């Protein structure tokens, strides 16, 4: 069938198009009559008029920001409005979560607790006790697993067992990899006439979660079945230990985000060593040499390692290309450095300095120039206490930091303000001693009841939760 062309009609008999004239006379109802053309034009004009009327009504109803009317920044301004709404929502969620926290006793022991870490698969909290007597005594490690059945008084019950690995000297770091390998580093050294051993890196493989939890089912029965030899140890896997030279210091360690294989980085004086595999095979050594001790480590992603130094420098090391750079300079010695969401990092130091930096806006460091931070938390208090005496934790846009006055703060990394804790106006949680370890615990992956805060102070571990 021939196509319909505006202002023309097709004559089937002559097989050609003819222009519609104003004086043309055709049979009524034919498609090329003057009357049919006028009807089509009237219908099109009516539809266009209705469309313009609805658009005017819509423009009169919606109030648009004046900045959106500028064509050069219209798209950017709309994006800023959306991001501001998201930030406002995150601030509200963080404030409500911190306001509803309640302090609960988790466990209390006889010795001081120096380090804690939580196993997500079994909900077990592992901790190290130190006596700080600088004598050649053992520093035992324990595993505390909550049981499903409560006591007759309605209190929560726990199963506590001593782990096989006992540190010869003070523990410098204690962390757990995603593949469930417990990493411990010790200082070593000497104390007077006593030898505290060599600095040591220890990797302890944990028992499979389902096998370990199956042995605890007897303890949940009423009355509980007495303990038998079938009860699996929490660290029943192989243990690998590496000893370093006596005149070096293992300041800290961090595990990579890989879930299929063990990757661990260790600071050896002012350098960084990376080890892979269950046997801790040497992989590479960081090329940074700043003549300053590396006190803190964290993996920004699978390949990039963040390092904080005593002189305030924060470096980046790419383990693939072996390239490294000093990206920024903190106003004081770096005690903790943690990767946050996106390109931001949190850096805690001495002289009450706790800042958030955005790596997209920090140029390569110039000697003697302090980098301007993205956010500064003015409520933070730590004048001269170095790791591992004060805890530090990061979760999404929340930062929890211990202070040197036996308390801790929870900061909002969006607004830079300290959040009131526990339904009071106080912006800090009071403790019986310095909070040596602070860890966010997230069992449901969001902001529900599963997000909690574990705080180790003195000889106790408290749980701040809803």
pLDDT, tens digit, 9 for 90 and up, residues 8-25? 767 766 787 777 765 555
Distance CA 306, CA 298 (A): 5
**Smallest Cα–Cα separation from 176: which of 108, 262, 237, 239?**
262
**Smallest Cα–Cα separation from 290: which of 271, 277, 305?**
271
SS3 content of the chain, % helix, strand, coil (to 5): 15, 40, 45
What Å distances lie between residue 401 and 81, 94, 386, 456, CA to CA? 31, 15, 13, 12
Distance CA 315, CA 331 (A): 15
**Smallest Cα–Cα separation from 263: which of 243, 278, 244, 242?**
278
Q: What is the pLDDT of residue 229?
A: 42
Q: What is the pLDDT of residue 246?
A: 82
Block residue for tokens 């211990």: 402
**Smallest Cα–Cα separation from 308: which of 321, 322, 293?**
293
Q: What is the pLDDT of residue 191?
A: 57
Q: What is the pLDDT of residue 424?
A: 66
DSSP state of 134: -
Tokens of 94: 């963080």
- Does residue 98 contact residue 419 with C-beta atoms inside 8 Å? yes
What Å distances lie between residue 380 and 94, 345, 351, 385, CA to CA? 18, 16, 9, 13
Q: What is the dihedral of CA 252, 349, 410, 316, to 10 degrees?
A: -60
Distance CA 373, CA 329 (A): 10
**Smallest Cα–Cα separation from 427: which of 449, 462, 446, 403?**
403
- Does residue 299 contact residue 265 with C-beta atoms inside 8 Å? yes
- Does residue 297 contact residue 388 with C-beta atoms inside 8 Å? no
Q: What is the pLDDT of residue 176?
A: 93
**Could you please report the per-residue DSSP string of 35-82?**
HHHHHHHHHHHHHHHHHHHHHHHHHHHSPPPGGGG-TTSHHHHHHHHH
Distance CA 210, CA 222 (A): 21
pLDDT-flagged residues of the chain (< 70): 1, 9, 12-13, 21-34, 36-37, 40, 60-90, 131-139, 148-155, 189-196, 218-231, 287-289, 364-365, 387-388, 423-427, 429, 445-449
DSSP three-state, residue 354: strand
């Amino acid at each position: 069938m021939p196509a319909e062309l505006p202002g023309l009609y097709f004559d089937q008999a002559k097989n050609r198009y003819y222009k519609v004239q104003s004086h043309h006379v055709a049979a009524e109802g034919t498609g090329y009559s003057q009357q049919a053309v006028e009807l089509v034009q009237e219908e099109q004009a009516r539809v266009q008029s209705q469309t313009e009327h609805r658009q005017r009504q819509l423009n009169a109803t919606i109030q648009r920001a004046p900045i959106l009317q500028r064509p050069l920044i219209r798209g950017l301004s709309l994006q800023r409005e959306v991001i501001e709404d998201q930030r406002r929502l995150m601030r509200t969620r963080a404030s409500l979560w911190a306001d509803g926290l309640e302090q609960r006793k988790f466990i209390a022991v006889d010795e001081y607790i120096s380090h804690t870490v939580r196993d997500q698969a079994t909900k077990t909290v592992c901790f190290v006790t130190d006596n700080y007597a600088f004598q050649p005594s053992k520093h035992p490690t324990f595993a505390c697993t909550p049981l499903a059945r409560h006591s007759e008084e309605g209190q929560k019950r726990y199963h506590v067992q001593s782990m096989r690995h006992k540190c010869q000297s003070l523990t410098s770091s204690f962390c757990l990899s995603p593949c469930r390998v417990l990493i411990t580093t010790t200082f070593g050294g000497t104390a007077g006439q006593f030898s505290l051993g060599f600095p040591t890196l220890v990797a302890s493989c944990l028992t499979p979660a389902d096998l370990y939890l199956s042995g605890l089912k007897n303890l949940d029965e009423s009355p509980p079945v007495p303990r038998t030899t079938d009860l699996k140890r929490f660290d029943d896997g192989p243990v690998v230990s590496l000893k370093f030279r006596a005149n070096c210091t293992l300041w800290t360690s961090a595990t990579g985000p890989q879930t299929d294989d063990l990757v661990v980085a260790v600071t050896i004086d002012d350098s960084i060593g990376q080890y892979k595999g269950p046997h801790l095979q040497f992989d590479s050594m960081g090329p940074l040499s700043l003549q300053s001790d590396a006190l803190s480590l964290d993996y920004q992603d699978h390949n990039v390692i963040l390092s904080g130094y005593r002189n305030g420098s924060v470096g980046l090391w790419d383990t693939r290309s072996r390239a490294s750079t000093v990206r920024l300079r903190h106003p004081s010695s770096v005690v903790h450095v943690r990767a946050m969401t996106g390109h931001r990092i949190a850096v805690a130091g001495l002289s009450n300095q706790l800042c958030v930096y955005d790596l997209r806006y920090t140029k390569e460091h110039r000697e003697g120039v302090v980098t301007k931070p993205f956010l500064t938390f003015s409520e933070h208090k730590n004048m001269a206490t170095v790791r591992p005496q004060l805890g530090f934790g990061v979760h999404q846009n929340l930062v929890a930091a211990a202070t040197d006055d036996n308390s801790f703060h929870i900061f909002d990394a969006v607004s830079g303000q300290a959040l009131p804790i526990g339904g009071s106006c106080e912006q800090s949680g009071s403790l019986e001693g310095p909070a040596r370890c602070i860890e966010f615990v997230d069992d449901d992956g969001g902001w529900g009841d599963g997000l909690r805060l574990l705080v180790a102070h003195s000889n106790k571990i408290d749980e701040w939760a809803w």
